[in-house]
Structure 1
Amino acid sequence: MPKIFLGLFLLSLLLTSCKNKEQEKAEENTTAVSESSVIKSDKPISRLNEESKKLVAPWGEYQKFDDLISQYQEISMNEALLNSVELSVLAQQLRDSIRVEKLNIPEVKIRLNVLYTETLRLADMSTIPTITEQLVAEENNNIIEAFSALNLKINNMSSQDQLNSEISKFVDEILEQPKTDSIGKEENP
C-alpha cells in the first residue's frame, strides 16, 4: 500500500512539474510575441517651429491630437489598434474645427482630410481579427506622414509670412531713403 501512495505522489509531482514547464514556455512565447509586436515609425514626426506653435496655440483639438499621435512613434500593435478609434475621432474633430482663420484654407483642409482618412483606415483594421503587424505598421507610418505633412504646411505658411514681413520692411526702408542723383547729391522734389 505505501508503494502505491509513493507512486501516486511521484506521479503527481511529475505532472505538476510538467505543467509548470508548459506554463513557463507559454509565458515566454507571449512575451516574445508582445516584444516583437512593437511598431516603430520609419520617420519621426515633423514638428512645428516656434512661430507655428504660437499660431496653433489656441487650437485645442490640434494639441489633443498631437499628444496622442506622439505615442504612435513607438507603440505596440495592440495599443495602436485599441487607440485607433480615439485617434480617428480626434482627427475628425481636428478637421472640423479649424480655429485659426489663417489655416482655414484648402491646402490645410486637404491635409486634414488625408489625415482623417488614414486614421479611419487604422480604426477599420482594428475590427479585422487576422490583421498582420506589417499592415498595421504601414498604416501607422501613413498616419505619421500625413500629420507631418500638415505640420510642414503650417511651418511653410509661418516661414512665408515671416519672409513677406521682412521683404515689406526692406521695401519700406528703401522707399523712405532720400533719392539721390547719379553724382550722389540729393534731388529736390
Structure 2
Amino acid sequence: MSDESSITALIASVAEEYGRLDVLVNNAGTGVAGTVEHTDTRAWRHVFAVDVDGVFFASRAALPHLRRVGGCIVNVGSVSGLGADWGLAAYNAAKGALVNLTNAVALDHGHEGVRVNAVHPASPAPRWPRPSSTTRTCTQRLQRPTTHVLNDCHSGPSRFSGEGGREGRRGV
C-alpha cells in the first residue's frame, strides 16, 4: 500500500480499463501501539508509509483522471488524527498528517472541480492496549462528566475548552 510505482500503475490500469476514474477512496491504514519513546524507527516509518505516503501517491496518480470528470477523493482518517489517543504516537501523527494532506489537496485542487474530503471514524471500544496504570486512571477519569476531569490528566490548555485539561472524545 505504499509502493509508489505499484500504486501509480494500478490507478492508470483502472482508468484505462474503465475509460475514466470518478472516485478514489484511500482506505488503507495501519497502526502500532507505543509512545514516542517506545516506538522504533522501523515501525514509525511503516505507519507513515501506509497511512500517509500511500494516500499521497494514490491521490497524485488519480488527480489527472479525476480532474477530467469532476471526480472526488475520500480519505479515511480517524478521530485519533483529530485529537490523539494515549500510547499511539505513530498512528496519531500519521492520521493527523492525513487530515492536513486532505486539506491541502482540497485547497489546491478544489478549484479544478475535484472534491476532496475525509471521514474520521471512531471505534466504540478501542482495540489498542493502554500502556500504563497512569493511562488507565486518566481514561477512567475521562469517562466522568467533563467538569470533573479538566485538570486531572493534563496541565496545559485544552484545545477543546480553552481551560486546563484534556477532554476526551469518548463519553464527553
TM-score by length of 2: 0.25
Relative to its length, the structure with more strand (as a share) is: 2
Relative to its length, the structure with more helix (as a share) is: 1
